Structure 1
Amino acid sequence: MIVRERMNEFVMIEQDHHAGISGEIFSCWKDGFFKGEKWRESVLHAVTKHDCGWRMVDRQPFWNDQKQAPYTFMDFPSPAKTLIYNSGIDEVERRDRYAALLCSEHYVRFKQEEESPEAKQFVQFEKARQQRLIKSISDFGRSLFAFHYGLLQLCDNLSLYLCLNEPGAKKEEESPFFQNGIPLSGALDVFSKKKMHARWIDRHTIGLDEFPLKQPVTVNLKQKTVSKELISKQGLIPSYLETPEETVEIHLVPYI
């Protein structure tokens, strides 16, 4: 779950929906900012489904007693998180091996610095999966794979930018993740900079200083704004289920 806390409420966005927005963004990618056309559909599948493991978990979110807030994708307990990651990669692999390889790499990078037994076991298992998948994929190229993985990271971050920030936020009010720009992988040599800078032009429009999309793109962000008072009375799960879903229209446009 992606969560923004306000004074009297939590804005909650399901992970799988966020990933779907990542896919919508990538589906409008300029040809000049892509390499390896034969892999385009696989990359799209990875970008769109990279968080599919969270789908069932986010339907009835968990409460963090220590923080007195819903658990987020950042503080969700590590042992359970590895099961979610593994389940999601399994689901992607059943349809597309190259997409699964990208998703596996994505989650290994999240976990490879952790010292917990669960994280180490997860990384070991996924490294073995990666070797198996690489052997089964004809024409696999490491440099091209690194480029495609960089695109997954970028699309993930672009979607997170619009999910983690309040609409219309000033730069100093943005999530610390993005105040200094969105990092670009060194493998993404089609970009002229090491970072992409985004800013809110108004409450429904985000400008990008290097624009990799074919045209301005509109996405519909689905979220629930759950009252803290309601949670205190009946708990998180019934409050979340009872809260109606909202749709926020957001436009991605170029700016100089």
Structure 2
Amino acid sequence: MTDRIQLLQAFDALLQPERFRDYGPNGLQVEGRLPVRKIISGVTASRALIAAAIAAQADAIFVHHGLFWRGQDGRVTGWMKQRLALLLAHDINLYAYHLPLDAHPELGNNAQLAARLGLQVQSRFGEQDIGFLGQRMDGGAFADAAALASHVQQVLKRTVTVVGSSGKAIQKIAWCTGGAQGYFEAAIAAGADAFITGEISEPQAHYARECDVVFIACGHHASERYGAPAVAGHVAAQLGLVHEFIEIDNPA
């Protein structure tokens, strides 16, 4: 058993949130009971995840997408009231780390996605070095965009969106999990043959065709399922806590 302050210190020491300019507060977002024995990890602090954590008798929840974001109007109504009411009624701590969780070189979303796709990280790119660049661990290349897309689909077990398939071999691959379509131009400038992220917006389809760089959107949630359990599991083992990852399905 530990307490919420020691748990926060362990997460902060590992993820170093002070290094990042983020879209919301990183760390302890909702204060619960002081003693902590069990952590539940998940992608998003949804009502479904909170309810599952309550059923699992958790003392703390660790997520990538927390409750509070820049630009919110601050009113506690509707879905915000419902989520907060559950957390406060059951005295559960909520920890959330956004960009720090994407960026961690071993346990973060990008590193964990790379491990599953069999990609070796060679460098970083983009704002705050959140984007990763590399190639297959065996040093080989994917025959073409279709081969890479098929591999991503097989690993993540979901259909992907592919734009810009010229038929050339794919050697240099860039990736950034979640809603990182805005990093595509930086990936192109870094010399990538393909870019993998969670979402695609209208401009990226044109960039992919005009620059002959493949764009693969594999789902925001699907690309970010791995960092939270990796970090929470690591810290739980370090502090002697029980950890469980709970998957809340999301088609996005």
Tell me if both proteins adopt one fold, taking TM over 0.5 as the criterion.
Answer: no
Q: Larger helix proportion, structure 1 or 2?
A: 1
Q: Report the TM-score, using the length of structure 1 for normalisation.
A: 0.29
Q: Larger strand proportion, structure 1 or 2?
A: 2
Q: Report the TM-score, using the length of structure 2 for normalisation.
A: 0.29
